[in-house]
Amino acid sequence: MKSALQIWHPFTNRALDPTPLMVRRAEGAYLYTDDGRKIIDAISSWWVNLHGHANPRIAAAVAQQARKLEHVILAGFTHEAAEELATRLRKWVAGPLAHVFFSDDGSTAVEVALKMAVQYFRNLGQAEKCEIVALAHGYHGDTAGAMSVSDESPFTEPFQSMRYPVHRVHSAYCYRCPVGLKRETCHIECARQLEELLAERGQRIAAVIVEPLLQGAGGMIVHPADFLQRVRELCTKHDVLLIADEVLTGFGRTGKMFACDLANVVPDLMCLSKGLTGGFMAMGATLCTDRLEQAFRSENRMHTFYHGHSYTGNALACAAANANLQIFEDEPVFDRIAAIAKINAERLAHLRGRDQVGDTRQLGTMGAIELVVEDTGYLSAMRPKLYAFFLGRGVLLRPLGNVVYVLPPYVIEPDELHRVYDVIDQAIETLL
Ligand SMILES: Cc1ncc(COP(=O)(O)O)c(C=O)c1O
């Protein structure tokens, strides 16, 4: 008899990394493993979980939907769960974002936004306006287009030949200011590079893509709101579309429903995924303005957006997303978020003074600590040591190189979150 296929785990090297742990079940903020461990999921399983694992309300909604309609092709057909989701999302997003295009995950939501931006100008007869601008330290996913707009990193290095060229401009990484200034006295001079680029080449540029206010995988870098506002102003001035990749920041992560809301910025395109289904189902969504969508409504068939995935608008994913948004309406979700933010702020304030801590950063439920080590970056030798230390003490944290961050499900209890920070404290004392 043939043996079972070996699972090839993501971001995992079988020669170097520990054997994956078998998870039997999960509940709230906890994972329960086969070998009897109870682990706090302090990163919401790659930032997707909001209201706790195996949330009974979302589970019931998915089960109910599965008995009615599991999936139907979304070209030429629609269904109640998708229509309901479009209506529910409309309530939360800024007024001008009037259309939603469903896809499969964060990367495909980004691919859709990039392709829409390029085809938008083509449909208007401005095919030369097709270049993309992205930020240093950005991360937008692992598919080829998303990888192209992501900054160079160990994730992209082997695929240099597959990445199409984009313009890369400074981000507002205040701890390592790209223009050598101090946040307290600066005037967002880091945005000048974008300003100059758009002044010079604006006629050829279709879009600027940003992770609004918080660059996640690039090191949990928090931007001042002025930076995002400046990017918006510059895009408007040069008739360039602003794509806000809210895949990480959406659904309350930053303290508001969307990071753009914190800065009072309305993008032309917005990418959503991760928290969209409360962590239950893979789903992406790209929202856009009416002005943008109108350019695709045309007598010319070649103006059609020829893009779609087999599972686009999957009914089970829509049902999970609807239940997720219903929880936002019925339960004190933003109080839970505020409670997490408060503990993050308190604990980071204590860590800030330590010699081993270079910087602390926070935005809502995300708290990050940039450690002082010799080899910074994702491949820092400190990363696997920290990971093992945390896991050995019942806490799942996956440092981004020398940046340790906490990003818990909103249902984490205060004592559980304090426990996570206690373990981080111990790691700093023991390993650095
Ligand atoms: C900002 C951002 N965009 C896009 C993605 C890609 O999402 P996915 O992994 O679902 O393809 C991620 C994933 O971490 C992300 O953080």
Look at the block and give the residue holding tokens 């049902």: 319
Q: Which of 140, 67, 65 is nearest to 110 (CA)?
A: 140
Say what percent of the chain tops pLDDT 90: 100
Q: Are 234 and 198 in contact, with CB atoms under 8 Å apart?
A: yes
pLDDT category of residue 128 using cuts at 50, 70 and 90 = very high
Q: pLDDT tens, 131-165? A: 999 999 999 999 999 999 999 999 999 999 999 99
Q: What stretches of 36-191 show up as alpha helix (H) in DSSP?
A: 44-47, 56-68, 80-92, 106-123, 144-149
Longest dimension (CA), the chain: 70
Tokens of 97: 């974002």
Assess whether the C-beta atom of 245 lies below 6 angstroms from ligand 1: yes
CA dist., res. 346 & res. 360, Å (int): 11
Mutate to test the pocket of ligand 1, among 137, 214, 247 (most ligand atoms within 8 A of CB): 247
Mean pLDDT of 378-407: 98
Contact residues for 408 (Cβ-Cβ < 8 A; gap 6+): 29, 40, 41, 42, 43, 44, 340, 365, 416, 417, 420
Output the average pLDDT for the chain: 98
CA of 245 relative to ligand 1 center, distance in Å: 9
Please state the atom number of ligand 1 nearest to the C-alpha of residue 47.
14
pLDDT at 242: 99
CA of 354 relative to ligand 1 center, distance in Å: 32
Q: pLDDT tens, 232-243? A: 999 999 999 999
Assess whether the C-beta atom of 110 lies below 6 angstroms from ligand 1: yes
Assess whether the C-beta atom of 219 lies below 6 angstroms from ligand 1: no
First to last CA, the chain: 50
CA dist., res. 54 & res. 146, Å (int): 30
Beta-carbon count within 10 A of 34 CB: 9
Beta-carbon count within 10 A of 369 CB: 27
Q: Could you tell me how far CA 37 lies from the centroid of its own chain?
A: 29
CA dist., res. 404 & res. 43, Å (int): 10
pLDDT beyond 90 at 275: yes
pLDDT at 305: 98
CA of 140 relative to ligand 1 center, distance in Å: 5
CA dist., res. 337 & res. 323, Å (int): 18
Look at the block and give the residue holding tokens 């009914």: 315
pLDDT beyond 90 at 40: yes
Q: Give the length of the chain.
A: 432
Q: Which of 273, 278, 246 is nearest to 364 (CA)?
A: 246
Tokens of 142: 């692992």
Please state the atom number of ligand 1 nearest to the C-alpha of residue 215.
1
Q: Classify residue 131 by its DSSP letter.
A: E
Residue nearest (by alpha carbon) to ligand 1 atom 7: 106
Mean pLDDT of 184-194: 97
Assess whether the C-beta atom of 359 lies below 6 angstroms from ligand 1: no
CA dist., res. 234 & res. 94, Å (int): 19
pLDDT at 1: 82
- Phi/psi of residue 289, nearest 5 degrees: -80, 165
Please state the atom number of ligand 1 nearest to the C-alpha of residue 146.
4
Q: pLDDT tens, 329-372? A: 999 999 999 999 999 999 999 999 899 999 999 999 999 999 99
Assess whether the C-beta atom of 248 lies below 6 angstroms from ligand 1: yes
Q: Is 85 exposed, middle or buried (0-12, 13-18, 19+ CB in 10 A)?
A: buried
Mean pLDDT of 297-326: 98
